[in-house]
Amino acid sequence: MTGRILVVEDNPVNQAVVELQLSRLGHQAFVVNGGLAALDALQAELGFDVVLMDCQMPGMDGFTATQRIRQLESTASHIPVIAMTANAQREDRVACLAAGMDDYLSKPVRVENLQAVLARWIATGRMRREHNPRHDLDDLPAVDRQVLDDLVADLGGDPSVLAEFTEIFLRELPRRLEAIQAQLPLDDRREMRERVHALRSPSRALGLTRLDAICDRMDQAAISGRLGDVRSMERNLLEAAAASVEELCQLTASVANTG
């Protein structure tokens, strides 16, 4: 899937490198050189799917720009912001999440890492623009069969790989859910986002649409500091997890039988 990418970067060399990488991946790049220019570009509503945001820039840095973006947008218009940072330590990742960023890339940005991150987030950004944010979770499929089929195809067509991934997910799921539940009474949105992200990433990889969606809603509420809303979604989270487990096991068995 190709997309329209807003690149926020003040260094001309880095601008040229990222623009070329995006072009070779089939994406359309729009480059601005600072946080204020990024805000102007987004408010012009040019239909961007993802923002690639340099963290350290003169004037308005990437952290401040992202915070401003989150203040200005509604849940419906939330756009994925991917940090580009020379620092890859855990505390730097936490700082990115706390500012409202969705993911991050370490500099120098390698094209294969860029491709993987954009594959994760372009569809999310597009879905948020095109679909009603009040869409009922129960109307979403628990599992997207096409994602599973594509995953098997990408891994050489061996269905046993999907069974292995499913086993790992099922083993890790109770711990991920317990970590989120343990955080619910606490007023730490940064840690909440970390724990939700730890569940959302494998959910998206396996096409668990409903679980991905509730994790997304919890993440957006945490970004906005609405931890009461996060707590109110606990039942939805557990129900989505249960539905995902049931259907994922059925589809994994089906893929294995047809493989």
Domain coordinates in residue numbering, the chain: 4-130, 137-258
Indicate if the pLDDT at residue 108 is higher than 80.
Answer: yes
Indicate if the pLDDT at residue 5 is higher than 90.
Answer: yes
CA 153 to chain centre: 23
> What is the mean pLDDT of the segment spanning 86-96?
72
23-37, 73-87, 141-155, 210-224, range with greatest mean pLDDT: 23-37
pLDDT computed for residue 136 by the predictor: 61
Per-chain mean pLDDT for the chain: 85
Q: Which residues pair with 29 in a beta bridge?
A: 5
pLDDT computed for residue 42 by the predictor: 87
> What is the mean pLDDT of the segment spanning 131-147?
69
* CATH code of domain 137-258: 1.20.120.160
Mapped onto helix, strand or coil, the DSSP state of residue 45 is: coil
> What is the mean pLDDT of the segment spanning 61-81?
81
How far apart (Å, rounded) are the C-alpha atoms in residues 50 and 124? 9
pLDDT computed for residue 256 by the predictor: 66
Identify the residue whose tokens are 């089929």. 149
Indicate if the pLDDT at residue 75 is higher than 80.
Answer: no
pLDDT in tens, 193-208: 989 989 988 898 888 9
pLDDT computed for residue 107 by the predictor: 86
Q: For residue 62, what pLDDT band results from cuts at 50, 70 and 90?
A: very high
Indicate if the pLDDT at residue 134 is higher than 50.
Answer: no
Its pTM stands at 0.58
Output the CA–CA distances (angstroms, integers) from residue 206 to 34, 128, 163, in the order listed.
36, 20, 11
Indicate if the pLDDT at residue 135 is higher than 70.
Answer: no
The 8-class DSSP code of residue 136 comes to -
> What is the mean pLDDT of the segment spanning 27-42?
92
pLDDT in tens, 178-193: 999 999 998 888 899 9
Q: For residue 125, what pLDDT band results from cuts at 50, 70 and 90?
A: low
% of the chain residues with pLDDT over 90: 39
Check residue 136 and give left, alpha or beta (phi > 0: left; psi -120 to 50: alpha): beta
For CA atoms 21, 26, 27, 31, the dihedral sign is positive
Gyration radius of the chain's alpha carbons: 19
Indicate if the pLDDT at residue 77 is higher than 90.
Answer: no
CA 103 to chain centre: 6
Q: Which CATH architecture has domain 4-130?
A: 3-Layer(aba) Sandwich (3.40)
pLDDT computed for residue 237 by the predictor: 94
> What is the mean pLDDT of the segment spanning 27-36?
93
pLDDT computed for residue 129 by the predictor: 55
